[in-house]
Amino acid sequence: MEKFLVQCLLLLSVISRTTCFQTEISYKIREYVREHQHSLYARHDPIEEFTLEQPLDHFEPSQKTFKQRYMVNTKYWRKEDGPVFLYIGGEGKLSQADIDYGNIVELAEQYGGLLFAVEHRYYGLSTFEDYLETENLKYLSSQQALADLAEFCVFAQKMYKLTDLNQWIAYGGSYPGNLAAWFRLKYPHLVIGAVASSAPVQAKTDFQDYNNVAAASFASPLVGGSVQCQNNIMKAFAHVDQLIAAKDYKTLEHDFLSCNDISRPNDTWLFVENLANVLDGIVQYNTQASGFNIAYVCQCMTNSSLTPYQYLGYVIRYYLDRVRLRCMNNNYTAYLEIFKNTTQDPTGSSSFRQWTYQTCTQFGYYQTCEKNTSCIYSRIPHDLAYDLDTCLEAYDIPAQDIYEKVAFTNAYYGGKTPKGSKIVFVNGSIDPWHALSVLTNQTATEVAIFINGTSHCANMLPDSPDDLPALREARKQVAAIIGEWLEPSRSTLD
């Protein structure tokens, strides 16, 4: 404990004000987790990369097209009857790592499967000239993305000489988990089943439950949390709010490594939003990367050597350092410009404008606190209003339209009751997104697996000695269900 306290105090004393541009803490955390997983699990399978020319609009004839990137791993494929695992890309650049390791690769190895990974339109390198211009964003939708997958299936069947014995299984996590479930729902003649991990299929504009789950996670002994930890985080944020009320912005800027002045209301809002994003990221990816775990945060927050506010400052600085940020950018004007920026990124890494457009036009998903009595973060007002204003400022989409578009999404896909078949929904209790997913069996073949103590898409990782027994068992359940789906085609071969 003495060594731990010394470490905390050293970081409390080393406070840098070096400028650094940061707009999306959660994005940086996600990339850090991905890098860690790749370094830990990579198999270095031979994976080929190609492109397929796709119509920009599948529903009205047009000459406009774009090149969609896809990847292939044939290492485990038993050609005569091996299934096809379709890894669905989502709100970011696709990587060869997506079909180089993980549970999907273990499934392909077990069943002799062919692996495809298909990048989502408008993300990564699956783009076209001026794709970020507002008038072209209308082609960015889940419906168009599903049609892309349908075209890909037809193309791949011919290119790889697949037969009816090579049954397709859609596979995805988070938003791609939605797409996996919806692909089976809307195109059941192309895929015999789908694995939808951490899939928030219920669109929701004001998503208060995200922070409710985060709060409960910090109180859960199963992952090293406690009620005291939860209460101390709440006390720390209450002190943040007191300093804001007293207009003591300099103290906050110093203690939490702000890159800029936060005295303007918009910058103050972004500041408290970023603080919450750090803790949310730790919950969402609990134990999935070195140092990213609730237990460590609670070890700090329940230590009586310093106040909860002081330890919150330490925790924020510790994780900024982990993701290689020297300070936290809380400039709202710069933040908003990211979503307005139509400059093409030649590396395909940028996804802020695209994904935010999708939330404005289909999903909402805005994680709020202002009217949420269970929230343990700051109570600075106008939380949801800022998210809705981003839609108006960046895409000229008014708030009322967002509510209507979210309602349409649920009507179109069915929300938490999609009424499909041969879909398995996998969720973990520590993952805040499970609040919008399917948690109970809907039919005999539309089933839910709920894992206590696991985080976002944890079941998509390969088996590890450190996994909870329930997580290992969930992967076995998924594999067994897939085996049942494949049995008719295999018995035909016999």
Which active-site residues does the annotation give?
174, 431, 456
Question: 194 and 183 in contact (C-beta within 8 Å)?
Answer: yes
DSSP string, 33-94: HHHHHHHHH------EEEEEEEES-SSS--S-EEEEEEEEE-TT--TTT--EEEEEP-SS--
Tally the residues of the chain: 494
Buried b (16+ CB within 10 A) or exposed e, 451-481: bebbbbbbbbbbeeeebbebbeebbebbeeb
Beta bridge partners of 86: 116, 170
d(CA 460, CA 299): 28
For residue 427, report the phi and psi dihedrals to the nearest 5 degrees: -140, 160
CA distance 98 to 73: 10
Rounded distance between C-alpha atoms, residue 462 and residue 448, angstroms: 20
SS3 196: strand
Supply φ then ψ for residue 74, to 5 degrees.
-105, 5
What are 395's two structure tokens? 């895409």
| 3-class secondary-structure state, position 491 | helix
Label the pairing between strands 168-173 and 84-88.
parallel
Give every CB contact of residue 119 below 8 A, 6+ residues apart in sequence.
Answer: 68, 69, 70, 89, 93, 94, 125, 126
Structure-block tokens of residue 211 = 């922070």
Residue 169 parent element (H or E): strand 168-173
SS3 394: helix
Helix, strand, coil percentages in the chain from 3-state DSSP, rounded to 5: 50, 10, 40
Give dist(CA 469, CA 465) in Å, integer.
10
